[in-house]
Amino acid sequence: MNIQSLPLLTIITFFPLIGIFIIFFISKKKENLIKVIANIVTALTFLISLTLLLGFDPQAEGMQFVEKVSWIPAIGVQYFMGIDGISLLLILLTTLLTFLATLSSWRVIDHRIKEYYIFMLLLEIGMVGVFTSLDLILFYVFWEVMLVPMYFLIGVWGGERKLYAAIKFFLYTLFGSVLLLLGILALYFYHHAVTGVYTFDALQMMAEGFTIPPKLQFWIFLAFFFGFAIKVPMFPFHTWLPDAHVEAPTAGSVILAGILLKMGTYGFIRFSLPILPDASRKFVPVIVVLSIIAIIYGALVAMMQKDWKSLVAYSSISHMGFVTLGMFALTPIGLQGSIIQQINHGISTGALFLIVGIVYERRHTRLISEYGGLSRIMPVYAAVFAIMMLSSIGLPGLNGFIGEFLILVGTFQVKWWWAAIAASGIILGAAYMLWLYQRVMFGKVTKEENLKMKDLNAREIAYFLPLIFLAFWIGLYPKPFLKVLEKPVNKIVQKVNPDYSQKKPDIIKKLFDHQEREGELPY
């Protein structure tokens, strides 16, 4: 049987709905049953999403697993799904992280369990939907649908300032997304004016022969920029992030950092760059400056944090700065690095939030000063933390290195000093992470309570294992990942930066030849 012909994307997207239905009809007293079902459903979703790999052809041009049905014919909205290498990786990351996050909440969530798992599953539908949809309205629907369960996750199961954090998250992202909607509508009417067809089909918008005048591109890009940049979040739109991340329950933080932030960068890659190439090129300096500020600023603020979780949250801002920097280098290497780095960030920051969650579950405090010398009490925990910390820093052999290296190479090709400044962010990153590790893991055990802390149990180890495995896999043998990304990335660069792809420079040669590079490159 041909896997390509199955409506696999619809199945993956809406599979959690089955779980929601089942849980809806279970009495809320049967807590264990609810937990088991939620875990099974998320695990199954992950397994089903793995079957995408069987049918996926990395050599194929264009979208795969395409499903196209008319949805609101009156205005030309379609139910249009399809994936390429970029979405494939992000979908797998989403289903995996959702499963792990669900597994991690087994004991942490002790009240209103039924609602919790329903929201969790709803969230998964929204996230997977964002990465699969190719119709702009469909994309927007999923994009917003996912806000609601996240709002409730933060607001009901969050920390002390949960009310503030929840509404701030909701308002900020809604503000960005309504402007995104206006951008989509402007695009839609321009497309109609030129071609006479009412459609929200993103592929038609980026088709050859459909060009948008630069001035209109500028405004639409600006509208998209607000939508996506708030989600990433780019400096100076980042202020919702520390609040939301810190106040959210552990699983919520994992998903926020691991997947939600990727939706912004994914939006840039999927829609902004190929649909609005001229404006994207024009915005490069702005975004690069904002990215570099984010890298340095995020790292510096992270260093000052007294709260373990907000340290990780600020480190996210810094890492996402790398992602946007690599993306807007507009070179294949930079873009590939940017996507790999998104995956890495999902893995390592997701894991770091889980790591904070574990001690928080045991001690109910996140202050760094409350801990110290944990490596003696919890050796397995210390090892896991060490691996994930090194992965986040970008130690060669682990995943973070590959992403950051590719981004720096990609950026270097364009302007060497962008890469130079960004590289300093890596050093700062190493500094705050190592310092954190030193403060909580080494030294004497200063607090009595810490002595009684238990090491990781089997369930906890179980959810770290896949992340550790992936960290090593990407770090040691990234080729399969890069191969999947090659085609779509080249296509995007061809569209957004045609000068570059025409010249097809020999990258390695350029790396070692400064003088020559300055004259030749598109900038």
DSSP string, 442-497: SS----HHHHT-----HHHHHHHHHHHHHHHHHHH--HHHHHHHHHHHHHHHHHH-
Q: Where are the alpha helices (DSSP H) in 232-272?
A: 240-247, 250-255, 261-267
Among 63, 185, 293, 383, binds another protein (CB under 8 A): 185
If one counts every other C-beta atom within 10 angstroms of the C-beta of residue 490, the result is: 15
Token pair in block for residue 381: 């925990």
Burial (0-12, 13-18, 19+ Cβ within 10 Å), 280: buried
- Judge contact between 414 and 330, C-beta under 8 A: yes
Spell out a b/e string for 245-267, using b for 16 or more CB atoms within 10 Å of the CB, else e: bbbbbbbbbbbbbbbbbbbbbbb
Among 40, 182, 421, 423, binds another protein (CB under 8 A): 182
Name the minimum Å distance from CB 254 to another protein. 21
Task: Please list, in sequence order, all residues whose beta carbon lies within 8 angstroms of the beta carbon of residue 18, skipping any fewer than 6 positions away.
Answer: 41
Can you tell me the distance from the alpha carbon of 75 to that of 68, in angstroms, rounded to the nearest whole number? 15
Under rule CB under 8 A, residue 171 binds another protein: yes
Among 37, 91, 166, 202, binds another protein (CB under 8 A): 166
Under rule CB under 8 A, residue 66 binds another protein: no
Under rule CB under 8 A, residue 22 binds another protein: no
Under rule CB under 8 A, residue 20 binds another protein: no
Among 11, 60, 163, 286, binds another protein (CB under 8 A): 163
Decide whether 21 or 189 has the Cβ nearer to another protein.
Answer: 189
- Judge contact between 412 and 280, C-beta under 8 A: no
Under rule CB under 8 A, residue 201 binds another protein: no
Spell out a b/e string for 419-430, using b for 16 or more CB atoms within 10 Å of the CB, else e: bebbeebbebbb
Under rule CB under 8 A, residue 167 binds another protein: yes
Under rule CB under 8 A, residue 69 binds another protein: no
Under rule CB under 8 A, residue 218 binds another protein: no
Run of H or E residues at 35: helix 31-55
Q: Which stretch binds another protein (CB under 8 A): 48-56, 150-158, 234-242, 498-506?
A: 150-158
Interhelix angle 113-132/85-108, rounded to 10 degrees, is 170
Under rule CB under 8 A, residue 152 binds another protein: yes
- What beta strand segments (E) does 53-112 contain? 64-72, 77-83
Name the minimum Å distance from CB 333 to another protein. 37
Decide whether 27 or 515 has the Cβ nearer to another protein.
Answer: 27
Under rule CB under 8 A, residue 115 binds another protein: yes
Can you tell me the distance from the alpha carbon of 487 to that of 499, in angstroms, rounded to the nearest whole number? 18
Under rule CB under 8 A, residue 21 binds another protein: no
Q: Which residue has the tokens 């397995």?
A: 380
Among 22, 40, 181, 395, binds another protein (CB under 8 A): 181
Name the minimum Å distance from CB 495 to another protein. 25
Decide whether 43 or 179 has the Cβ nearer to another protein.
Answer: 179
Can you tell me the distance from the alpha carbon of 52 to that of 175, in angstroms, rounded to the nearest whole number? 34
Q: Which stretch binds another protein (CB under 8 A): 15-23, 133-141, 337-345, 407-415?
A: 133-141
Give the sign of the dihedral formed by CA 332, CA 338, CA 342, CA 345. positive
- Residues 294-323: x where in contact with another protein by CB under 8 A, - otherwise, as a string: ------------------------------
Q: Provide the β-strand partners of residue 77.
A: 72
The number of residues that bind another protein (CB under 8 A) is: 34
Name the minimum Å distance from CB 214 to another protein. 18
- Residues 392-421: x where in contact with another protein by CB under 8 A, - otherwise, as a string: ------------------------------
- Judge contact between 229 and 323, C-beta under 8 A: no
CA-closest candidate to residue 160, choices 317, 309, 290: 309
Among 112, 362, 363, 439, binds another protein (CB under 8 A): 112
Can you tell me the distance from the alpha carbon of 153 to that of 213, in angstroms, rounded to the nearest whole number? 42
Under rule CB under 8 A, residue 383 binds another protein: no
Name the minimum Å distance from CB 145 to another protein. 6
Under rule CB under 8 A, residue 15 binds another protein: no
Among 14, 106, 175, 472, binds another protein (CB under 8 A): 175
Q: Which stretch binds another protein (CB under 8 A): 175-183, 263-271, 281-289, 365-373?
A: 175-183
Query: 71-100: which residues touch another protein (CB under 8 A)?
Result: 71-75
Among 113, 137, 232, 299, binds another protein (CB under 8 A): 137
Task: Please list, in sequence order, all residues whose beta carbon lies within 8 angstroms of the beta carbon of residue 412, skipping any fewer than 6 positions away.
Answer: 418, 419, 511
Q: Which residues bind another protein (CB under 8 A)?
A: 71-75, 112, 115, 137, 140-141, 144-145, 147-148, 151-152, 155-156, 162-163, 166-167, 170-171, 174-175, 178-179, 181-182, 185-186, 188-189
